[in-house]
Structure 1
Amino acid sequence: MPILDASASTLLVVDFQARLMPVIEGADAAIGNARRLLDAAAKLEVPCVFTEQNPAGLGGTVEALSAPGAVLPKMTFDATGSLGMLDHAPEDRAVVVAGCEAHVCVLQTVLGLLEAGRTVYVVRDAIGSRRIENKEAAVRRMERHGAEIVTTEMVVFEWLGTCKHPRFREVVALIK
C-alpha cells in the first residue's frame, strides 16, 4: 500500500549522534524534523528504533532526540547487519527512515532493508550529510532502488489518515 498507516509502520532513526551532527549540512532542520516524527510516533503508537554507529567513537544519539525505543549499536554501515535489526522491522510493517549520513549509513541501511523485502519510506527533510550533493545523490539512488521519498508532513498526515482522528489537533500542532 503506498499510503503509510501508523498501525503498520516503524520509525527508524539512524545515527543522529553527538560527534557527527556538528558537521552535517542542515543538521538543525534534520534534527527538528526527526523530533517531530518521534513525537508523532509517540502519540500514534508507532514503534521507534534507533541505531548508533560506533557509539564509543561518535557518542550516543543527540539529547534532542531522546525517546523510548530500542537502541542498536553497530559497527557496520548497513544496520541490517546488526544483530536484531530486522526483528525490529517486521515484513508486515513499513519502515520510515530518518538519519545521517544519507549517503553512508542511511543509504546502506535502506538498501539492506529493500534487499530484505521491507517497504521503506525515506524522510528527505529528516536526513542529512556533510555535503548536500552527497545527500541528493543518496536520495536519487534510494528512490531508484525502490524506496519512497517522503517529507515529515507527508508522514504525519498519512499516519493520521483523517482530520477526524482523535489525536489530530495535538499531532498537527507538532508541525505548525
Structure 2
Amino acid sequence: MALDLFTPDDTAILLIDHQVGTMSWVRPTGDGEMKGNALALAKAARALDMPLVPTTSMEDRAQGPLLEESARIAPGEYANRTKRTGVVNAMDDPAFAAAVKGTGCRNLIVAGVTDDVCTVYPTLTAVDEGYRVQAVADAGGPMSKAGDDVALRRMERAGAGITSINMILTELAGSWTSRHGQALLPVVSELVPG
C-alpha cells in the first residue's frame, strides 16, 4: 500500500483561535510549547509558500487579539484573518469556510488553541465535506486531559489523522535535501530543545 502523504503543493494550514486570552485557558504543556508549535506552523506555511488561513473569535472580549507574533510571521494573513463573532465551529462561519475553499486545497492541516473546542468541530466538518485533514494535537492543548483525549479520539474515528508538529513538518519536508526540506530546516531547528 502506497503512502498518500501531505505535500506543500496540495495542502493548506488552518490556525484557529490562537489568541492572547484563549491561550491562557489551556493547561500548561511545557514552556510555551503549544504557542511555539502553532507559530511554527505559520512559519512553515510562509517558508513553503502554502496557504495559511487564520481565524479568531470575539477579539474584543476575553479571547483577546491574535498572537502578535503572527503579524510578524505572516502580515498579510494576519490582516486578512477571519474575525468570527462567536461562531464556535469555524467552518460554520461563511467567511472562514470561503477562505478555506478559496485555497483550492483538499488537504488541510488544522490546529486550534483547544483540541476539544477549536479544533474538533472544524475538523469534523471538513472531513464530512470531503477534505483530508490532519489535526496537530500539540499545536493546541487541553482545558482538561479527559476532554483532549475524547476530542482526539472523536476526530480520528471520523477519519482525520492525528499528528504532532514534528510529524507534520517532516512529512511536508519529505527529504532534508529537497527544496521543501531545506526551507523547513530553520523552522524545525527552532523546535529542538537546547
What is the alpha-carbon distance in structure 2 between the residues aligned to residue 167 and residue 158 of structure 1?
A: 10
TM-score when normalising by structure 2: 0.83
Q: CA deviation at 1:172?
A: 1.9
**1:72 counterpart = 2:79:** no
| Matching residue of 1:110 | 123
| Matching residue of 1:61 | 66
What is the alpha-carbon distance in structure 2 between the residues aligned to residue 108 and residue 62 of structure 1?
A: 22
* 4+ aligned runs moved over 3 Å, structure 1: none
Give CA deviations for 1:72-99 in whole Å, capped at 9, x if unaligned: 1122111111123233323642110112
Q: Give the counterpart of 2:178 among 149, 165, 170.
A: 165
| Matching residue of 1:93 | 106
Consecutive unaligned residues of structure 1, counting only runs of 5 or more, are none
What letter is aligned with 1:41? A
Count matched residues.
176
* 1:15-164 equivalences in 2 (<5 Å): 15-26=17-28, 28-57=32-61, 58-66=63-71, 67=74, 68-69=76-77, 70-74=80-84, 75-90=86-101, 92-164=105-177
Give CA deviations for 1:121-150 in whole Å, capped at 9, x if unaligned: 101111112222211211111111111011
What is the alpha-carbon distance in structure 2 between the residues aligned to residue 76 and residue 105 of structure 1?
A: 10
Question: Secondary structure, in 3 states, of the residue corresponding to 1:76?
Answer: coil
Give CA deviations for 1:152-173 in whole Å, capped at 9, x if unaligned: 1121122122222135345223
TM-score when normalising by structure 1: 0.90
Q: Which has the larger helix fraction?
A: 2
What is the root-mean-square deviation in Å for CA atoms of aligned residues?
1.8
**1:4 counterpart = 2:17:** no
Q: Which has the larger strand fraction?
A: 1
Give CA deviations for 1:42-61 in whole Å, capped at 9, x if unaligned: 11011111111122212221
Cα contact 1:31–1:65 (8 A) shared by 2:
no
Range with greater deviation from structure 2 (14-23 or 56-65): 56-65
Give identity over the alignment, percent.
24
What is the alpha-carbon distance in structure 2 between the residues aligned to residue 94 and residue 38 of structure 1?
A: 16
